[in-house]
Amino acid sequence: MRSVVAYFRAPDDAKTGGVAVTSVTFVIRRLSCSFSRTYWAEKVAFSTAGCGFGAQKVRRHRWIISFMTFHSIAGAAYRALTARKDGPSLYDVCDPLLLKYAGGDPHIGKFYRTALGNPALRPLLRRTGLAELRDAPKLQRLREALGQARDHAEPDWAAIGAPVADLVDTIELSHPRPLAEPAPARAPELAQIESVIRGCAAHLLKSFRSNGFIPTYAAFNLIGDADLRGREMLMALTGLNSRGYKNSTLLFNLARVFIARSPARALINPPWKGIAEPMWEPMQIRHRSAYYDAFFTEALLSFAETGLASPEQATVARRAVTEMVDFCLTTSAEDVRSHDGATVRVITALAPLPHPRFSKFFAQIKQDLGFGIYVPDCDTTACSFSAATQAGSTDPILDQPLLDFYAGYQVTEGANEPKVTVPLNDNIDYEGGVVTWIDNLAGERPFGNDLDPTLNLDILEVSFRNLARWRIVETPARLATVHRIIGFQKRLVLSGAFANPRSHIYYLPELYCAYFGRCYAAFIALPLVARAAIDPDGTFELIRARVLAYVQTELIAHEMNAFDAALALIALGHLGANPATFAPALHCIVASVGEGGRHGPFKAYEWNKMKTPTRILVGGPEVTSAFVLMGLALARRAMMAGVAKTS
């Protein structure tokens, strides 16, 4: 590690005519002494046995990096710290109202001081002004809106959000557009693939042994989400139920305007390779959730199926799976009311403290951001039940036919009250879909409700795994619920909207493809008679063809990162693609091994996200290892089957 302290002189804001001197410390990993556009990094080949990393070789590679080198970091920092101020800054607008005041809502001021007025962000944004706010009436309108958010007991959020929405619409954001990339001539050797599988499994098991669980991380990208424009921000302000969550959504969106129009943008939102966004250090919040444990369970079960685990690894993996299933079904379970008044036991993504394993610092930040009350959701419940079913659990909670409960959260024509209150993806037809959030016993639902297509794939998948147990085919109401969800997915895919990032609330289109593969695998494993009852029109084969075409002609035909490649392999493997098409994704993964440095074989990438109150990414090095493991295990199985056929 090397630290470099740079001092920048900028005109002071005071009327003294003096200067302000700001120091910035850059922490750079293995930077070459000349600060050239190259750096040295250690690439580690992970051990193929045992639960530790046990590096067999350490090779030095000279990597040419195209973004965020020392020069670009220092240049972006210099420009942000010395920018000519064209108008009032974020702090000129907000400090008089929110820095110190008496009365009104205390949360909005506390949030402002914690999230936006902190010493780390102030130097970067203090000189970013908006020229249009030099217009006194516009500035006054904005300040009056913030004052109403602070002081009114029942604020008019549509009116409050209007001046901020106008500003949000002045920024330009877009989704990644990776460059086309030619396919490699052939796939890596099977031995290379197996080595990476072993390395990923060793990483997960070592993390479990060290922490007592496998962690995941959350990180904030203050530039916001490309799909959240002024219109969508107003949807959130009027559709959310928690005042704290509304406060944070309002202020984060105001701040993103200043960030997006500042040289600081290059520091806060650097470019990246592929689709899934890397999670930049250092601001990452470690935590545990039943949703994550469900997928780590699937990854370890996938490893066990490969036959590559050593006896010691197999023992540790079994213990980890048992403990994670218990965390899902017992620690994270809570009772809620069904639409018919019955009590149902569902799974919450964030169990009560101390189970999420936040640090005390971040536990308080969670409260300050408006996440003080967290309620169960349909996705975590479905994935937890699925993982437990795959692990062979006999917990009585699994006997509950979830489809009866989900029917109460399904969007149907003619409903008196709209179930989707935050319709950020209103470009799709919600009919037949199931919404995300579940009211707790107190009737609280702080995030309003939204509807995500990938969540609905998870509901189908868990239903197929429990088809006999829940007597779905034999129960007309349950079968009708399944048919409506399948109809929702059919319209989504036929319209092409599945490939549009705006259609998704929490996931990427590429992850939708991988999760459809997972759902399709559960469907195709059913008896023919059951498949005919569930899908008499052949919708699954129609969706399979569209998803395969997208993965083969869009995803793997362009630049990918390791997480993109893992998603591609999960989709291709589950959907029965020709193993010859695996080569681009396999090469990407093998070439990326070691990029995670001391954190694991791979970097942390966006797995899922929230678009409100700002862009919050969830992932981690362990998450990447889990998805790479599952993707490679599927690819290996298909490749070995192909070899067996030709021998």
pLDDT at residue number 355 = 81
Residue 435 near residue 378 (C-beta atoms within 8 A): yes
Helix (H) or strand (E) holding 617: strand 615-619
Pairwise CA distance, residues 475 & 185, whole Å? 51
pLDDT at residue number 9 = 44
Q: Please tell me whether residues 324 and 243 are part of one structural domain.
A: no
pLDDT at residue number 51 = 34
Residue range 249-261, pLDDT digits in tens: 999 999 999 999 9
pLDDT at residue number 149 = 98
Look at residue 143 and tell me if it is in a domain.
yes
Give the orientation angle of helix 190-211 with respect to helix 583-592, to 10 degrees.
50
Q: Please tell me whether residues 199 and 244 are part of one structural domain.
A: no
Residue range 144-190, pLDDT digits in tens: 999 999 999 999 999 999 999 999 999 999 999 999 999 998 999 99
pLDDT at residue number 415 = 65
Q: Please tell me whether residues 350 and 443 are part of one structural domain.
A: yes
Look at residue 617 and tell me if it is in a domain.
no
Residue range 18-67, pLDDT digits in tens: 444 444 444 444 333 322 222 223 333 333 333 333 333 333 333 333 44
Q: Please tell me whether residues 294 and 232 are part of one structural domain.
A: no
pLDDT at residue number 80 = 64
Amino acid at 369: L
Residues facing 344 on adjacent strands: 336
Residues facing 608 on adjacent strands: 618
Q: Please tell me whether residues 242 and 383 are part of one structural domain.
A: no
Q: Please tell me whether residues 307 and 240 are part of one structural domain.
A: no
Look at residue 646 and tell me if it is in a domain.
no
The β-bridge relationship of strands 38-45 and 615-619 is: unpaired
Q: Please tell me whether residues 468 and 542 are part of one structural domain.
A: yes
pLDDT at residue number 11 = 45
Q: Please tell me whether residues 442 and 581 are part of one structural domain.
A: yes
| pLDDT for 6 beyond 60 | no
Helix, strand, or coil (residue 517): helix
Q: Please tell me whether residues 140 and 197 are part of one structural domain.
A: no
Q: Please tell me whether residues 475 and 400 are part of one structural domain.
A: yes
The β-bridge relationship of strands 333-337 and 615-619 is: unpaired
Residue range 410-442, pLDDT digits in tens: 999 866 568 999 999 999 999 999 999 999 998
pLDDT at residue number 28 = 40
Residue range 343-356, pLDDT digits in tens: 999 999 888 878 87
Q: Please tell me whether residues 149 and 199 are part of one structural domain.
A: no
Percent of the chain topping pLDDT 70:
83
| 3-class DSSP string for 256-270 | HHHHHCCCCHHHHCC
- Region 210-225 average pLDDT: 93
pLDDT band, very low/low/confident/very high, at 612 (cuts 50, 70, 90)? very high
Q: Please tell me whether residues 297 and 157 are part of one structural domain.
A: no
- Structure tokens given for 526: 């059913």
Q: CA 100 → CA 103, 107, 148, 457, 485, distances in Å?
A: 10, 12, 16, 48, 50
Percent of the chain topping pLDDT 90:
74
Look at residue 340 and tell me if it is in a domain.
yes
Residue range 68-84, pLDDT digits in tens: 455 666 666 666 667 67
pLDDT at residue number 75 = 67
Other beta carbons within 10 Å of 111: 24
pLDDT at residue number 376 = 94
Sequential DSSP letters for 9-69? EEE-SSTT--EEEEEEEEEESSB-TT--SEEEEEEEEPPSSSSS---SEEEEEEEE-SSS-
Q: What is the number of residues in the chain?
A: 647
Averaged confidence pLDDT in the chain = 87
Look at residue 444 and tell me if it is in a domain.
yes
| Domain harbouring 549, CATH code | 1.50.10
What's the pTM value of the predicted model, to 2 decimals? 0.88
Look at residue 186 and tell me if it is in a domain.
no
Give the orientation angle of helix 243-260 with respect to helix 136-151, to 10 degrees.
150
pLDDT at residue number 293 = 98
Token look-up 């949030």 returns 111
Among residues 233, 249, 265, the one where a domain terminates is: 249
Pairwise CA distance, residues 125 & 136, whole Å? 21
Phi then psi dihedrals of residue 443, to 5 deg: 80, 15
Phi then psi dihedrals of residue 169, to 5 deg: -75, -5
Look at residue 596 and tell me if it is in a domain.
no
Look at residue 242 and tell me if it is in a domain.
yes
- Domain range enclosing 13: 2-30+66-176+224-249
pLDDT at residue number 1 = 43
Domain count for the chain, please give it.
2
Pairwise CA distance, residues 399 & 383, whole Å? 15
Pairwise CA distance, residues 325 & 395, whole Å? 10
